[in-house]
């Protein structure tokens, strides 16, 4: 049963006052940050209280950085933080107009989340997923409101990056898309529309490049530093592909490559065995202190 109500026939985001965010990790706290600073009331849900405290501390620190650059005042920060509340129970979202899921990039986990979320939402509420690669059509079909479900893929770090990919599932209503597109503009972000194909636009192009960089390392064509310096200085990339992989998280890189490989059935998307090994070792990049670089010292050092 789908809930298409008169509330979602308004094609702008004026209906959205309260936004829920599921997941207090790097993406979730970034999304909450920009929602709050765009004037929306925000509720962040996570299973772990310490993760919620950490998210609020991160948001506060990032706001301080903006104050130091003259982009915000202390009053702006105080007002923004006052708009954020947190909790560990899905009932937190009973009055939300939109809930953005920003949990781990795992389809089973996301579907379990939606199963718990849908019963507490009001009928007219919209749901968006921040997935970077998983089928929006499949995720939407697992909810009670596929016409009010779509992809809203923010880039990392959210407060800095300008782009949001907007993805319609096959059942996504035009009104839902129009409301979310208008919302992104109110957040002072730029949206691009992507079709519901594995990994959408950015990761369809970016992750195979990263995977190829890992193959270049695996095959001994160049060292970690050689590969990263070559792409920074030879292609004018702000960050080398292996450094970027560490920043994204090697587990996330691997999961996107697996989605591409499974979804498009093309051997060119086969994850590099070295990437698989690093993930198996728990070397996931910056978040674990070790990936293609070791982050435990004063300066990151290549691990190969």
Active site residues: 132, 153, 165, 203
Helix 273-280, helix 250-264: angle, nearest 10: 130
Spell out the alpha helix ranges (H) of the chain. Answer: 26-37, 49-68, 74-82, 107-117, 136-141, 174-186, 202-218, 224-234, 241-248, 250-264, 273-280
CA distances from 286 to 29, 155, 223 (A): 17, 17, 19
Q: Please give the Cα distance from 93 to 233 (Å, whole number).
A: 47
Q: Please give the Cα distance from 238 to 224 (Å, whole number).
A: 16
From the list 209, 242, 244, 238, the residue with the least C-alpha distance to 226 is 242
Q: From the centroid of its chain, how far is CA 226?
A: 29
Q: Which tokens in the block code for residue 33?
A: 């940050």
Taking a C-beta distance cutoff of 8 angstroms, is the pair 139, 118 a contact? Answer: no
Taking a C-beta distance cutoff of 8 angstroms, is the pair 100, 20 a contact? Answer: yes
Instruction: Pick left, alpha or beta for residue 23 (phi over 0 → left; psi -120 to 50 → alpha; otherwise beta).
Output: left
CA distances from 235 to 21, 65, 239 (A): 36, 29, 10
Taking a C-beta distance cutoff of 8 angstroms, is the pair 190, 181 a contact? Answer: no
């Amino acid at each position: 049963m789908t809930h298409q109500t008169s509330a979602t026939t308004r094609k702008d985001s004026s209906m959205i006052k309260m936004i829920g965010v599921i997941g207090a990790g790097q993406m979730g706290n970034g999304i909450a940050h920009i929602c709050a600073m765009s004037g929306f009331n925000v509720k962040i849900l996570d299973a772990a209280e310490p993760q919620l405290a950490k998210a609020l501390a991160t948001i506060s620190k990032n706001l301080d950085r903006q104050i130091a650059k003259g982009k915000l005042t202390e009053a702006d920060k105080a007002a923004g933080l006052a708009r954020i509340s947190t909790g560990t129970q899905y009932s937190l979202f009973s009055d939300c107009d939109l809930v953005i899921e920003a949990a781990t990039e795992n389809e089973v986990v996301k579907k379990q989340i939606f199963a718990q979320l849908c019963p507490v939402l009001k009928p007219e509420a919209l749901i968006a997923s921040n997935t970077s690669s998983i089928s929006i059509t499949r995720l939407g079909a697992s909810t009670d409101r596929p016409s009010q479900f779509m992809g809203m893929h923010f880039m990392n770090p959210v407060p800095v990056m300008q782009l949001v990919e907007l993805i319609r599932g096959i059942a996504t209503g035009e009104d839902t898309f129009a409301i979310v597109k208008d919302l992104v503009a109110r957040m002072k972000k730029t949206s691009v529309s992507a079709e519901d194909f594995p990994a959408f636009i950015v990761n369809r192009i970016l992750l195979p490049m990263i995977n190829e960089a890992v193959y270049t390392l695996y095959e001994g064509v160049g060292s970690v530093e050689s590969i990263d310096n070559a792409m920074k200085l030879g292609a004018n990339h702000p960050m080398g592909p292996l450094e970027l992989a560490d920043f994204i998280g090697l587990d996330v890189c691997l999961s996107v490559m697996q989605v591409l490989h499974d979804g498009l059935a093309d051997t060119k998307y086969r994850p590099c065995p070295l990437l698989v090994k690093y993930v198996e070792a728990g070397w996931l990049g910056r978040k674990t202190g070790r990936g293609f670089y070791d982050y435990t010292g004063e300066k990151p050092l290549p691990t190969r």
